[in-house]
Structure 1
């Protein structure tokens, strides 16, 4: 049965050199015998077929012969190449007055691999003739085929030789989870217990689901957006470093206070009369204390009373605190009676208008 080199590489008959390189790169990595320990014989056969197909189709003259005469044409009688040269892997015999006989001698797949990468294939010299695997200069072919990072993926330079090692495990992306906290919890500090489910792997790569309790010690003064990282607490997978679990502090809205950096802000609604004659503020702090703050000044719309050291703890120095800022929303009457207008407009109230 005729061998279809295009089908082996999974490309169409119009495939260019870049298409062939890409197809070879993907297939040779899939069928490396060392990566298929459970079906090594099949992998070796595939590896040889892939290398032979690539050797033929990347050579313009061999490809032309194959396209015109098929696999049998590579072993039969065909015209010599236009320049009379002898492409690698083929032998020409002159028979005097008769036609030139072309005989295609497929090279060992390890030789092809060695030519591309500059070191012997990880198949361990299957089929014989693999060669010693020493570096051939910079092996521009391997760089062209697989990119400049081929040496980082397959091995490392050392003493002028190349030694295979498995690719370095990659780190999985971090997983973030918000941790809602009340303003009281962020003021006093607290401890949160977070239950997680994850999979751990044994030496054979088999995974088992487990549950864990992670403890988060929230310090006084922590702000929204503070991150707590538990390294490598994600699922375990072969050749993957587990992801970090990152808990992000979030702040729940408070019914009285809002936070501005290390300051606490409260806005109180008071009638205009209280704003004029004085007002006493009564507040319960986030740690349960009662504050009484008398205000004897006239409270105008932009007035702000500042109480020192009654704000949020400073995260780096919890003994130090921000300020409490009291703002006012002055409630004006929507209408006045004639008598009220007369009182406001009386000489006794004249000071209101200056």
Structure 2
């Protein structure tokens, strides 16, 4: 056995070839300089061909450390690191140590080289410098079109690199995730992940009276159903679904039926969602639990008052006497005559208000004689002193 001369003063690192021919390699690590010194003890056979394949004059072959070709993509680099980092993680307690690309190397040695290789090749700038100038150029610094690129120094913080990649220090992180957050169900052949289908939405149109009282709507749906227990073939069926409507429900409310959608061997049944949609009412409009209506009155009624009779949403007749002067902003409020407050937990549910505003019908023409009379009436009206409050 004899030692081959080093190509340069930086000492040559030799690694196992994919063909099975390898060099016996020993390592010495200098923690103070954070640079790795390498010694290579080479067998007597095919020394020159081995050196040419390994490109040992350029230092470490980071691609061979990750067990990937030099034209590997970014995804290939990450996948290789993911596989090998878990295998040689110092926290892994294997009864039978897993196979690594270089059996002559200890797990601790390979762990540091693996993280250094990934630290270089996962960074586009460092990878490009390494591809062109090799390890010596990377660790000595090179001149680029954008200026001098400082020398790369490996941090030796392998656990930080591991954590940045896996978001955990633990080598059992994937196993813990699988227990705490189990993956979706799989098919029997375990080749396809079953995902839940998108929601099937359907509108439920409601009259305001239905919203006031609450009701149950019968809705017809068409969906795919399994023919038999083998759950392979499906057939289109029509079903009636009873949709409960709570008193006072608001427009846009979604009523969900879990996994009531189409059956299919490759998907989890979707949810059927009924969306409440309120129909227009000829008399009332809605603002949450309050109801609003507009009543036309004459100019005379607006000035001298009138009896107000209306039918509420519940069918009862509401009566009151309007004695105030009705101006355009005037509103008569009937307390507690609106819709039930759906969010209330009280029984019976409290109700909103019924707000009545007025549209005054002004005459299109007033004869001169009447205008003179009105003028005298209004002069007398405005001459009267207002009572002290």
Please give the range of the TM-score, normalised by the shorter of the 2 chains. 0.5 to 0.7
Instruction: Extract unaligned runs of 5+ from structure 1.
Output: 1-79, 120-128
Measure how far apart 1:301 and its partner are: 2.0
1:300 and 2:322 equivalent? no
Match of 2:84 in 1: 115
- 1:342 pairs with one of 372, 376, 380: 372
5 Å-filtered alignment, 1:103-142, equals 115=84, 118=87
1:161-240 map, 5 Å: 167-169=183-185, 170-200=195-225, 206=232, 208-209=234-235, 210-237=237-264, 240=267
Aligned-partner SS, 1:325: strand
| CA positional deviation for 1:294 | 2.9
Matched, 1:148 2:166: yes
Question: Any idea what SS the aligned residue of 1:91 has?
Answer: coil
Gap change, CA 1:152 and 1:286, over 3 Å in 2: farther
Deviations 1:118-151 (A, max 9, x none): 39xxxxxxxxx9869xxx899977x98xx63899
State the distance in 1 between where 2:183 and 2:172 align.
5
Q: Which residue of 2 aligns with 1:85?
A: 13
C-alpha distance in structure 2 between counterparts of 1:294 and 1:188, whole Å: 28
Per-residue deviation, residues 259-286 of structure 1 (Å, max 9, x unmatched): 1222211111211111112222332333
Provide the C-alpha distance between the structure 1 equivalents of 2:172 and 2:224, rounded to a whole number of angstroms: 27
1:283 is aligned to 310
Shift in CA distance, 168/319, structure 1 to aligned 2, threshold 3 Å? closer
TM-score (ref. length: structure 1): 0.56
CA distance in 2, matches of 1:194, 1:326: 35
Q: For residues 7-41 of structure 1, what are the alpha-carbon distances to aligned partners after superposition, in whole Å with 9 as ceiling and x for unaligned?
A: xxxxxxxxxxxxxxxxxxxxxxxxxxxxxxxxxxx
Shift of 1:256: 0.6
Partner SS for 2:276: strand
Query: Does residue 100 in structure 1 map to residue 83 in structure 2?
Result: no
Give the superposition deviation at 1:245: 2.7
**SS at structure 2 position matched to 1:85:** coil
Q: CA deviation at 1:239?
A: 6.7
How far is 1:204 from its partner? 6.4
State which of 262, 270, 294 in structure 1 corresponds to 2:289: 262
CA distance in 1, matches of 2:223, 2:171: 31
- Written as runs of structure 1 = structure 2, the 5 A alignment for 1:232-251 is 232-237=259-264, 240-251=267-278
Q: 1:301 to 1:166 in 2, by over 3 A?
A: closer
TM-score, normalising length from structure 2?
0.51
The aligned length equals 257
Once the two structures are TM-superposed, the CA of residue 325 in structure 1 deviates from its matched residue by 1.4
Distance 1:277 1:234, change over 3 A: same
The 8 Å contact of residues 221 and 318 in structure 1, kept in 2 or not, is answered as: no
Deviation at 1:186, TM superposition (A): 0.3
